[in-house]
């Protein structure tokens, strides 16, 4: 699974996951920086184009985009949701906890197909 981190996540998370051999990009990486402050529809389209799942806290907007794509019988990227409650952005331990959680998720899902 290839992953794109939405802009609420620090680029350090993607960097640490890449150092562990995973294919993770961040909206804050140079090749995706054009998506900083872009619409959710642009992020959704970029992830679909690049075959990446999206990791985000923005459930309402990305669920709406997914529902619209499904209604048109169009593919969409896989969506992975977290919450600020589970992984608080202001907590110094959050980056490490996210890296461990996502590495575990990647390792266990590697042989499972990603819905597209």
114 in a domain, yes or no? Answer: no
Per the structure, the complete domain to which residue 51 belongs is given by: 2-109
- How distant is the alpha carbon of residue 67 from its chain centre? 18
Q: Using CA atoms, how far apart are residues 62 and 56, in angstroms rounded to an integer?
A: 8
Distances (CA, A) of 12 to 1, 24, 78, 99: 19, 11, 22, 9
61 in a domain, yes or no? Answer: yes
Question: Domain with 54 in it: what CATH number?
Answer: 3.40.50
User: pLDDT tens-digit profile of 45-78?
Assistant: 999 999 999 999 999 999 999 999 999 999 999 9
Number of domains, the chain = 1
Whether the full predicted model's pTM is greater than 0.75, yes or no, is yes
Query: Token pair 């202001």 is at which residue?
Result: 90
Farthest-apart Cα atoms in the chain, separation: 42
């Amino acid at each position: 699974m290839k992953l794109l981190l939405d802009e609420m996540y620090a680029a350090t998370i993607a960097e640490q996951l890449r150092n562990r051999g995973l294919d993770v990009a961040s909206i804050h990486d140079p090749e995706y920086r054009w998506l900083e402050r872009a619409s959710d529809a642009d992020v959704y389209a970029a992830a679909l184009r690049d075959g990446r799942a999206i990791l985000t806290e923005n459930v309402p907007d990305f669920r709406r985009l997914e529902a619209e794509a499904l209604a048109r019988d169009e593919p969409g990227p896989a969506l992975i949701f977290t919450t600020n409650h589970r992984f608080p952005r202001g907590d110094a331990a959050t980056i490490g906890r996210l890296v461990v959680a996502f590495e575990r998720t990647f390792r266990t899902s590697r042989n499972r197909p990603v819905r597209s």
